[in-house]
Amino acid sequence: MTEMARLQARGVRLPRTERRAQLLAAAQRVFAANGYHAAAMDEIAEEAGVSKPVLYQHFPGKLDLYIALLESHVDELVRRVKDALDSTTDNKQRVPATVGAFFDFVDNDAGAFRMVFESDLRGEPAVQEAVDRATSASVDAITETITADAGLDEDKARLLAVGLVGLSQVSARFWLAHHKSMSKEEAVALTANLAWRGIGGGFPLQH
pLDDT in tens, 165-187: 999 999 999 999 887 779 999 99
Name 173's Cβ contacts closer than 8 Å, sequence gap at least 6.
Answer: 106, 113, 117
Are 23 and 58 in contact by the 8 Å Cβ rule? The answer is yes
* Distance (Å, whole) CA 47 – CA 61: 16
- Segment (H or E) for 194: helix 184-202
Note the pTM of the prediction, 2 decimals. Answer: 0.83
Q: What is the mean pLDDT of residues 127-149?
A: 93
CATH class label, 66-202:
mainly alpha
* Distance (Å, whole) CA 199 – CA 34: 42
Model pLDDT, residue 134: 94
Residue 38 exposure: Cα atoms within 13 Å on the Cβ side: 7
pLDDT higher than 50, residue 148? yes
pLDDT higher than 70, residue 143? yes
* Cα–chain center distance at 105: 6
Residue ranges covered by each domain of the chain: 3-60, 66-202
Give yes or no on whether 3-60 and 66-202 have one common fold.
Answer: no
Homologous superfamily of the 3-60 domain (CATH): Homeodomain-like (1.10.10.60)
pLDDT higher than 60, residue 131? yes
* Distance (Å, whole) CA 48 – CA 38: 17
Total Cβ atoms within 10 A of residue 69: 21
Residue 136, SS3? helix
Model pLDDT, residue 198: 64
Q: Which residue has the higher pLDDT, 188 or 150?
A: 188
Q: Which residue has the higher pLDDT, 201 or 190?
A: 190
Q: What is the mean pLDDT of residues 112-135?
A: 90
Q: Which residue has the higher pLDDT, 69 or 15?
A: 69
Q: How many residues are recorded in the chain? A: 207
Q: How confident is the model at residue 120 (pLDDT cuts 50, 70, 90)?
A: confident
